[in-house]
Chain A
Amino acid sequence: MFQVAKATFLRNTLVMLRAYPWSFVIGHILAGVYTVLFAYFAYTHVFAGQLDDRFVRYAGSADYLSYVILGGAFYSFAVSTLMNVSRSLITELREGTLEAMLLTPSSRKGYFLGNVTQQLMRTLFEFSVILLVGRLFGLNLAGADVWSAAAVWLLSTGAFFCQALVLGSVMLRFRDTYITQNTLFVLMAFLSGVTYPTAYLPEWLQPLSQLLPLTPALEAFRHSAILGQPLSASAPQLMHMAILSAVYVAVGAVGIRRMEKRVLESIFG
């Protein structure tokens, strides 16, 4: 399994460096940077720093810029993980390597492990750049509990990976990446509390936001990074993520197996 993981890691890194050196990495960084810019313009220039009274109650802090900048950075990280993992199989299909891969006795777990490790390296770089830019526009991490924030970040990778398995099987089912992924991403930006607390949403929509791992992940990350709370303070959010991950991984594993079979039968005959 580890050999397959290592080979996938090396292959993906080479592809990223040689074939598509800029697209996704720069794209995800810029998407995060633009969220930072929007928050800065809105807060400083349009609203002159005047917040709604409920914001402090809902967010637990009056630091709007840090709230949104971390939201934007974490959203980019989630999108990046979901895209890199879920698109892997359909990219193999498009580039003509899926049949060869399915025919080999290589471990599928190793393949996904290699994918996720390679994208961890990528997302860590993207996330750090967004935070650096965020510092210029008002991100304040003076009171952050760094270790607890790093732990939430790692655990979130796991949760997004599980969600990506479901997304990947849906993509293979419809042989489409574009509409599927973008519909999910606009819904995540709307429902997960990226630029505003979910408490602002109508009550009937709030249960929907709880189905997305990004919602508890963001809450836990903000607890550690803005409020400086230890990991134990985010226990409910971590438990929430664990339950969602278990459900997603179960559905995703079955989905991927079924789709592989379907692809083998219907596409390669």
Chain B
Amino acid sequence: MNEWMSLLWAEIKKEHRHSFHSSLVYFSLLIWPVVMFVTAYYSFAPFRMGADSPLARFVAPGQLPLFLLTGYLGYIFFWCLVQSAWQMSFERQAGTMEMIFISPVNRLAFVYGRSLSALVEGVWLFFCFTLLAMAFVGGIHVSGWWAVPLAFLILLVSAVVWGGFLSVLFLFSRDAGFLYTVLDEPMLIFSGVRLPPLAFPFWAKLISLCFPLTYALHMVRALLMEGAELGDLWQELGLLAGVLVLLVTASVFLLKRAERHMKRTGSMVLY
């Protein structure tokens, strides 16, 4: 176990140093979500708003800014943990992936270490979000102090598992950017970041169920916007846990296949 933890820690440190080498990265992590949030807010401007607007069936008009802010918080949280998975292609270019897989390193520690490397950035992001929401948006309604750390924990665990799953998927392809685009943007549309999934047609609701972010956002909004008690969320927590266990199982299974595939095709290095 100690060895597993030290491998995990080593990967977190390595990936963190690699990806977050300058203060510009932190700056971008603050600026991008803010600009994306404001853009999403203005995308609603062409529609009829107000208490009798069709939107009021799903989101109270006064809560739209907080709805979008929590949506983008969840999305960027996932996104910054998923970045390290996407950057797996750099290991191929640099030739270090071959070294990692030749060594007796625990593969799961490697994969989840990559995901967890953005933990500090996640904390920073969550802190900025809370300040922004309190200063400019308002409307936060929590039933106890524990709701904020619980929301953070829900986002963190689901994002790490999702990031690990994507890291494994990216092992199959030399062209990881393609997979990233295919999986990242649908998450933005179908997980309820900008639009409530309840408004979607049936087929789109089915797609939204495939992303852990959908469940995580539902709970984060219940905790931060509706003042939900822990007892109200057991069912949703159980569902999210089920999805995450499924993803971890799939990651373990696919990881073995990916390694076999890379060894057979010689695709551990790019050139």
Contacts and interface: CB of A to CB of B under 8 A. Distances in A.
B180 to A, nearest CB: 8
B120 interface: no
Interface in A45-99: 45-48, 50-53, 55, 59, 64, 67
Contacts of B38: 190
A45 B35 contact: no
Interface residues of A, number: 40
A147 interface: no
Nearest to A26: B178
Interface stretch (B1-9, B145-153, B195-203): B195-203
A66 B33 CA distance: 27
B53 interface: yes
A23 B39 contact: no
Given A21-B175, A51-B48, A52-B45, A46 B181 contact: no
Contacts of A200: 42, 45-46
Contacts of A45: 195, 199-201
B245 interface: no
B36 A186 contact: yes
Contacts of B32: 182-183, 186
B127 interface: no
B28 A46 contact: no
Which of under 10, 10 to 19, 20 to 34, or 35 or more describes the interface residues of B? 35 or more
A20 interface: yes
A38 B68 CA distance: 14
B48 A47 contact: yes
A153 B251 CA distance: 45
Central interface residue in B44, B46, B194, B201, by most chain A CB within 10 Å: B46
A204 to B, nearest CB: 14
Nearest to B57: A46
Contacts of A38: 43, 189, 194-195
B131 interface: no
Interface string B178-218: 10011001101100001110011100100000000000000
A189 interface: yes
A30 interface: yes
Given A22-B178, A182-B28, A201-B42, A41 B48 contact: no
B55 A46 contact: yes
A125 interface: no
Nearest to B44: A42
Contacts of B42: 190, 195-196, 200-201
Interface of A: 20-24, 26-27, 30-31, 34, 37-38, 41-43, 45-48, 50-53, 55, 59, 64, 67, 176, 179, 182-183, 186-187, 189-190, 195-197, 200-201
27 contacts: A22-B175, A24-B177, A30-B182, A34-B185, A38-B43, A41-B200, A42-B47, A42-B194, A43-B47, A45-B199, A45-B200, A45-B201, A46-B54, A50-B47, A52-B46, A52-B49, A53-B48, A55-B46, A179-B24, A187-B35, A189-B39, A190-B35, A190-B39, A196-B45, A200-B42, A200-B46, A201-B42
Given A34-B185, A186-B31, A186-B35, 10 more contacts: A22-B178, A23-B178, A26-B181, A46-B195, A50-B47, A179-B24, A183-B31, A187-B35, A190-B39, A197-B46
